[in-house]
Amino acid sequence: MQIRGVDLSVDFCGLKFPNPFVLSSAPPTTDGAMIKRAFSMGWGGAITKTLGLPNLEIVNTTPRLATIRGFKGDLIGLENIELITDRPLDVWLEEIKEIKKEYPENILIASLMTAAVKEDWQELVRLVQATGVDAFELNFSCPHGMPEKGIGAAIGQDPEIASTITRWVKEVAEIPVIVKLTPNVTNIGVVAKAVEAAGADAISAINTVSVLIGIDVEKMEPIPTVDGKSSFGGYSGPAVRPIGLRCVAEIAQATKLPISGIGGISTWENAVEYMLVGASTVQLCTAVMFEGYRIIYDLIDGLADYMERHGFKKVQEIVGLALPKLSAHEKLSREYKVVANVNPDLCIKDDLCARVCQDAGYSAIQIGPDRIAKVDEEKCHGCSLCQQVCPVWGCIQMKLVNQKRGAGVENT
């Protein structure tokens, strides 16, 4: 896809995506009609709702979603206790054929999950492969319901089992095999290395984070409540993006495999963040559940504008540029010194910065007679708490100071 002189197409483990924006395996890819509609609107790729053999007998609960909202009412997180597809496999096989016939240029990936039995995995691979699908994504990462059956995250949390099943699949797969990893592990890099050694062609990460989203304190019941009860579920949305970024960076540092980044992506800026730490494509789910497929227009336009402004011609030029700037904590400079600097023209005189500095910082901010915050640079430790809590972004900047002379150098 060419737009404003930049090429948004991406080569990902031998597959050419029109653009890097992919619908992840989730409710937005519940059936073939939905995927076709998404492709018609410009999505570069899609991953089917996870398919399994009929012996899994999937029955979903109602309700199965719950959200967390920010102080201003904005949606920041979603928990789900939804399982893999409950639609018959034979129906999916026909729909995949139809999708590929109508949209041959868009990349369609089949998400797979079944019992940890070699014959079952290889049977499922052969059945789905015959449809002409472009690649497989092995779901080793669903954190709820499926692990109780010994699959999903139960596989992704065990490097040995994950590598074994990857080998089973690679024995019969004639198309790329992507392994989707769980963040619910101590070291995702270890699992990534294991599936790389087993022959995986790429890795996608992350799946949802295992959580208990909340309790109804009046009814004293966990939510989402199903006839008075609930279970731990998978958390997604903006709140998990820092976890996803860390996991993708760790995978990029641990392996040489292409990565599809997932987790809390809502904007083109979020997508670029993932690319900068190693992702070649990005997957979205929760943002679509909150706003619909139409967000693709802003994603494409925003990425193209960013690339044009920075002189990038291809998406791959962005991938991994921030990785060399990640280091061990002990290697971070102790000579670099910043202090808070308040812009009096932007200050709304609410004294929040002074309160938090006194109660959770270094008492470096005082409120003058004019109600404007004043910073004592000798006391300021440069932690930036005041900047983070200030309701007027840009009012407080962190000023780089020359320690030897104590003179201001620049704002950051």
How wide is the angle at C-alpha 369 spanned by C-alphas 364 and 370, nearest 5°?
Answer: 100
d(CA 317, CA 307): 9
CA dist., res. 237 & res. 164, Å (int): 31
Laid out side by side, the sheet with 338-342 consists of 338-342, 396-402, 407-411
- Give residue for tokens 């999708």: 99
Choose the catalytic residue: 142, 247, 347, 353: 142
Q: Which of 171, 169, 141, 149 shows the shortest CA–CA distance to 240?
A: 141
Give the β-pairing of 407-411 and 396-402: antiparallel
Question: Beta strand 75-80 with 65-69: parallel, antiparallel or unpaired?
Answer: antiparallel
Q: Is 81:224 a contact under the CB 8 Å cutoff?
A: yes
**Residue position matching structure tokens 């000798």:** 378
268 phi and psi, to 5 degrees? -65, -35
Across the strands, what pairs with 209?
Answer: 235
Q: Collect all residues with Cβ–Cβ distance below 8 Å to 238 and sequence separation of at least 6.
A: 76, 77, 264, 266, 286
2 burial type by CB count under 10 A (0-12 exposed, 13-18 middle, 19+ buried): exposed
Asked if residues 188 and 158 have their Cβ atoms less than 8 Å apart, the reply is: no
- CA angle 237/245/3 to nearest 5° reads 85
Residue labelled with tokens 């979020």: 270
Strand 365-367 versus strand 338-342 pairing type: unpaired
- Residue 394's Cβ-count burial label (10 Å; 0-12, 13-18, 19+) is exposed
Q: Is 142 a catalytic residue?
A: yes
Tell me the catalytic residues. 142
